[in-house]
Amino acid sequence: MKKVMLSISLISTVLFASNNTSTYKSGLLLPPQADIIYKRQCSKCHGDDGKQISFKGSARVTYGVIAGLNTEDVAKTLKEYRGGVKSKDYQLLNKYGYGALMRSITKDLSWAEIDAVAKYVNGLK
């Protein structure tokens, strides 16, 4: 048993030394890391600051400014986009025609992750 304890403590030292959050993935039931999710899933269209309103090089595509929006509203909307049950019988939210796109981005996020992202969006200045 002593040996085990020793190896556990050794491993945890190594762990803390190499604490690297870049391995984070959404949808794995890990503690949510909103900044990473935002960067990967949202920033391409909405911009790092949440103020981008068109995709670079394409004048036709437009988005709303999301920086600073109310946390609860953002969370509610994202949850509606994501939906729960996987069935054709349930109509999912399709605001401005972005339903399919937003669903593909949100479908793997947990509720906790959506809440965290909403808070992050609210904090964008």
Partner 1 sequence: MDNKYIDKMLSQMDTELSSKGMSRRDAMKLAGISGASLLVGSTQIHAMEKDQAPIEKSGVTGKIVIVGGGLAGMSTAARLTLSLENPDITVIEPNDLSVSYQPGQTLIGAGIWGEDDIAYNRDDFVPDGVKIIKDRAIAFEPTQNKLTTAQGQEVSYDYLIVACGLQLDFERIKGLEEAGRCYSTGDNSQLHKTLGEDGICSIYTAEGATKTWEQMQKFIAQAASGKKTNFVFTHPSTPIKCGGAPKKIMYLANSRIKEAGARENSELTFYTNGGSMFGIPEYHDAVLAQFKREKFKWNYRHNLIEVDKKNKIAVFDAKWQEKGPWDPIMKEFEVISKHEKKKVSYDFLHIAPAQIAPREIAESDLGSAGGWVPVNKETLQHIKFDNVFSLGDIAQVPMGKTGGSVRKQYKVLVNNLISKMKGEPLVAKYEGYTVCPLITGIGTVMMAEFNWEVKPTPSFPLDPTVERWIFWLMKIYALKPMTMYGMLAGKA
Query: Residues 79, 111: contact at Cβ < 8 Å?
Result: yes
Judged by CB under 8 A, does residue 40 bind partner 1?
no
Residues 69, 36: Cα–Cα separation, whole Å: 19
CB nearer to partner 1: pick between 7 and 54:
7
Residue span binding partner 1 (CB under 8 A) among the ranges 9-17, 37-45, 52-60, 63-71: 9-17
CB nearer to partner 1: give 27 or 64.
Answer: 27
Q: Which of residues 25 and 49 has its CB atom nearest to partner 1 in the complex?
A: 25
- Sole binder of partner 1 in the list 55, 83, 103, 119 (CB under 8 A): 83
Q: Give the Cα separation of 83 and 103 in Å (integer).
A: 8
SS3 54: strand
42 burial level (CB within 10 Å; 0-12, 13-18, 19+): buried
> Residues in the site for partner 1, rule: CB under 8 A?
1, 3-4, 7-8, 11-12, 14-15, 18-25, 27-30, 79, 82-87, 89-90, 108, 110-112
